Chains A and B, each alone.
Chain A
Amino acid sequence: MMHEDHDHADHSHDHAHGPGHVHPPQKDHDAGPMSAYEVLEEAVRSLLIDKGVLTSDEISAQIDLMDSRTPALGAKVVARAWVDPAFKARLLADTRAALLEMDIDIGSLAEFRTIENTADTHNVVVCTLCSCYPKLLLGIPPAWYKSLAYRSRVVVDPRGVLAEFGVHLPKGTEVRVHDSTADLRYLILPRRPEGTDGWSEEQLAGLVTRDAMIGTAVPEAERKEAAE
């Protein structure tokens, strides 16, 4: 969806890239005046610290905790499900209990569900209302997951959006969009790629990308071979 060198989210790309063609530079996040929500956040944060409800150390620690969560944890769960059919059955039936077996505690966070991709059905997750996401297993969501373009387009034309991600599904495969509107967070269990018989759990986990667990990618064994 995006070039590596610059972001084209703000304009269509039907023009030629001739010499002297200049793109506007990408804005810094802190460029321009603060939005009303940024002002509100800063005011509330300062008040909470001033009144002793929170300390800035606690806020930093929470940010560090959020940053420490990465899709690697979700990938471990997927790989376990691929090698252990009994675990997979438990994961699909009761994700909270199955994760506890791997010492992953959902605790008081929103409840999780695991949805399995099959030969017949490909699943993809969105939160049209905001940006609900299984952060415990996947970390901070990518910017596109929170973008208005993804949130509005994937429900209307999921196959078109998936094609932009490089996922081309046969007509015979049903596409099922899951809008996480409420108290549940969805993890997609992708299909295990062909040609991975005998692979270790660690090798398999290396194939499982963040996008595969959102449903906007399909794991491939070639990816691993190409990387080695």
Chain B
Amino acid sequence: MSAHTVHAMRFSVGDRVKVASRLALGHCRTPWYLRGRSGIVASIQGAYHDPERLAYHKPGLPLQTLYKIRFLQTDLWPAYPGPTDDHLEADIYDDWLESVP
């Protein structure tokens, strides 16, 4: 968290978003099981250095807004054995998120 430039904050709490289903070479903090899945922005966690650049001794700039995304378990796992209102949350960086119309 500093005075560095930050990518424009594209999403607000409550927005429906989708995690990109692209491939990434090397270090990446977006789990496979969430790629292509849709959820809701539960909170905005602040701006952080981009781990995909930071891991290779780059400054990790511009900073990425980090969002806590809330997924319905039944959206992640069709055979989810628990109740339909169980959730999973994960922290996803801005450039991995797409808006859902």
Interface residues of A (CB under 8 A from B): 111, 113, 128-129, 155-160, 171, 174-184
Contacts and interface: CB of A to CB of B under 8 A. Distances in A.
Category for how many chain B residues contact A: 20 to 34
The majority secondary structure among interface residues of chain A is mixed
B4 interface: no
Interface string B89-101: 1111100000000
Interface string B14-41: 0000000000000001110110000000
Contacts of B83: 171, 174
Contacts of A159: 81-82, 86
B86 A174 contact: yes
A159 B66 CA distance: 28
A175 B82 contact: yes
B91 A184 contact: yes
A129 B31 contact: yes
Interface in B45-80: 45-46, 48, 51, 66, 73, 76-77, 80
Contacts of A171: 83
A128 B91 contact: no
Nearest to B92: A181
B13 interface: no
B81 A182 contact: no
Contacts of B77: 156
B87 interface: yes
A178 B89 contact: yes
B87 A177 contact: yes
B91 A155 contact: no
